[in-house]
Amino acid sequence: MSRIIEKQDLSENVVRMVLDAPAIAKKRRAGQFIILKIDEKGERVPLTIVDSDEQKGTITIIFQVVGKTTAALAKMKAGEALMDLQGPLGNPTEIENFGHVVCIGGGVGVGVVYPLAAALKKAGNRVTSIIGARNKSLLILEEEMKKVSDKLIVATDDGSYGFHGFVSAVLQNLIDSKEKIDRVYAIGPVPMMRVLCDVTKPYTIPTIVSLNSIMVDATGMCGACRVAVGGQTKFTCVDGPEFDGHQVDFAQLTNRLRMYCTQEKEAFEAHRCQCHGK
């Protein structure tokens, strides 16, 4: 059982929660995730650990309401408890002083890129961060990202704030300006990560992506989270969540993520009807 200590709405449909989880807070490293279950019948949802406080015994998660479970989670309040929390899971990010790293986050992916940027900065890297959202109201963690970056560039699809356009265009501009880039971290929606990998590939800039696959057991046994990387089958839960983006088969990943769309939509609609007493 894990109690919700704090809850905050970061933007429309994006929520930040601080959870009581002393054992996880103690062990967790950047890049790792937890699996949570709200109640007995609930599905298991993987969420990246955004931050932790070992002293207070807490971890922070940020999630977007995308389906039944995240909608139910977003309705919970500080003081309430989740039935189960498992973690830290996945491999921690490889943190070294690579030189100049560019950390790119899109939408709720900014929550995932934030701990990486913080750890990379701490390791002595020069960190340029690019964060993006569809519009200004959906942008999250700008202040936090500023604190852990040497330079922060903000982009919005509709131009309501910062650069008008996609984060991939900002990265292309950076490359065109002849900035030496030693490594790129790209985290966000799959189409965004795919395009960013296409941008960096011709320049052979190592590009790491963090995949948010569908997960069931998170132990490498069920195969639900499988992804093709460099022609081999990998399991996101035990081999990832980070992979060499130039090796990921994004087309297959997109298809797998779409596999349960209908069922997810139906469950979400049923949940909404229950909540509205229909």
For binding to ligand FES (CB under 6 A), which residues are involved?
Answer: 215-218, 220-225, 235, 237
* Euclidean distance between CA atoms 172 and 164, whole angstroms: 14
What's the min distance (Å) between Cβ of 116 and ligand FES?
A: 21
Judge if the upstream peptide bond of residue 46 is cis by omega within 30 degrees of 0: no
Are 188 and 252 within 8 A, CB to CB?
no
Nearer to ligand FES, 99 or 223 (CB): 223
Nearer to ligand FES, 114 or 235 (CB): 235
What's the min distance (Å) between Cβ of 164 and ligand FES?
A: 39
Nearer to ligand FES, 7 or 226 (CB): 226
Contacts of 122 by beta carbon, 8 Å cutoff, 6+ apart = 95
DSSP conformation class of 248: B
What's the min distance (Å) between Cβ of 48 and ligand FES?
A: 15
Nearer to ligand FES, 97 or 252 (CB): 252
Q: Both tokens of residue 113? A: 């890129």
Nearer to ligand FES, 43 or 182 (CB): 43
Nearer to ligand FES, 118 or 237 (CB): 237
* Euclidean distance between CA atoms 62 and 66, whole angstroms: 12
Counted residue by residue, the chain has a size of 278
What's the min distance (Å) between Cβ of 211 and ligand FES?
A: 11
Type and span of the H or E element at 246: none
What's the min distance (Å) between Cβ of 113 and ligand FES?
A: 22
* Euclidean distance between CA atoms 197 and 247, whole angstroms: 9
Report which of 254, 266, 169, 161 is spatially closest to residue 214, judged by C-alpha positions. Answer: 254
What's the min distance (Å) between Cβ of 158 and ligand FES?
A: 36
